[in-house]
């Protein structure tokens, strides 16, 4: 007579050809544990993949913002020929100091971004270095001419025609920089998003 507390046994064919008695509860526990292990493994793999994807996207966003800040520093320098022509007429000494200090600050930003882009990406750094070189030549000449010209003192003179300040030749270099940034960010994207 079997006791009610004992589990029924079943026979299982062993690999050697013999039979082994297993308790039905043991088989069920083993199946549950292997299922739980598999579920935990799948969950861990998905969590790692999602974390890596999030980290990669955060890195791309950080780089996107930093490359945009570099371009903003370039744009600030590019605006100085206009700012110099629009300086205040009634305080020439103060305006010289104000504009010189602002230009010094922008040049420091350009130097920082130039070094940073070269460290981050040789291709982007090279494009940004060339962009800075060209804006210094083009806008630098326009600034020199603006300092030698009288300050604009009428509303109509605030509209500065391209005959006085023409920075159109910088467009090609801007496109090269933006294309280099785009290519660098594309390389960091996952293969399915390229």
Domains held by the chain: number? 1
Residue 96, in any domain of the structure: yes
CA 41 to chain centroid, in Å, comes to 33
- pLDDT tier at 13, thresholds 50, 70, 90: low
Residue 8, in any domain of the structure: no
Residue 47, in any domain of the structure: no
Q: What is the mean pLDDT of the chain?
A: 85
Residue 7, in any domain of the structure: no
Angstrom distance (rounded) from CA 162 to CA 160: 7
Residue 37, in any domain of the structure: no
Residue 30, in any domain of the structure: no
- pLDDT tier at 128, thresholds 50, 70, 90: very high
Question: Residues 70-95: pLDDT tens digits?
Answer: 999 999 999 999 999 999 999 999 99
CA dist 125 → 15, 128, 135, 173, 178 (Å)? 65, 5, 15, 13, 11
Is the pLDDT at 55 greater than 70? The verdict is yes
Residue 4, in any domain of the structure: no
Strand 9-13 and strand 19-23: pairing? antiparallel
Host domain of residue 114:
61-193
Instruction: Give the predicted TM-score (pTM) of the model.
Output: 0.71
Mean pLDDT of 109-135: 97
Residue 13, in any domain of the structure: no
């Amino acid at each position: 007579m079997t006791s009610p507390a004992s589990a029924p046994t079943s026979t299982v064919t062993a690999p050697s050809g013999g039979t082994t008695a297993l308790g039905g509860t043991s088989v069920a526990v083993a199946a549950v544990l292997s299922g739980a292990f598999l579920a935990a493994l799948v969950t861990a793999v998905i969590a790692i993949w999602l974390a890596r994807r999030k980290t990669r996207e955060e890195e791309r966003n950080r780089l996107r913002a930093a490359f945009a800040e570099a371009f903003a520093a370039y744009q600030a320098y590019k605006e100085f020929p206009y700012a110099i022509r629009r300086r205040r007429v009634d305080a020439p000494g103060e305006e010289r100091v104000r504009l010189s200090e602002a230009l010094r600050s922008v040049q420091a930003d350009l130097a920082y971004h130039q070094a940073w882009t070269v460290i981050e990406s040789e291709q982007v750094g090279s494009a940004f270095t060339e962009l800075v070189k060209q804006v210094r030549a083009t806008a630098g000449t326009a600034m020199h001419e603006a300092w030698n010209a009288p300050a604009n003192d009428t509303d109509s003179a605030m509209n500065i025609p391209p005959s006085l300040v023409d920075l159109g030749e910088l467009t090609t270099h801007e496109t090269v920089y933006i294309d280099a940034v785009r290519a660098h960010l594309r390389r960091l994207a996952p293969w399915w998003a390229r």
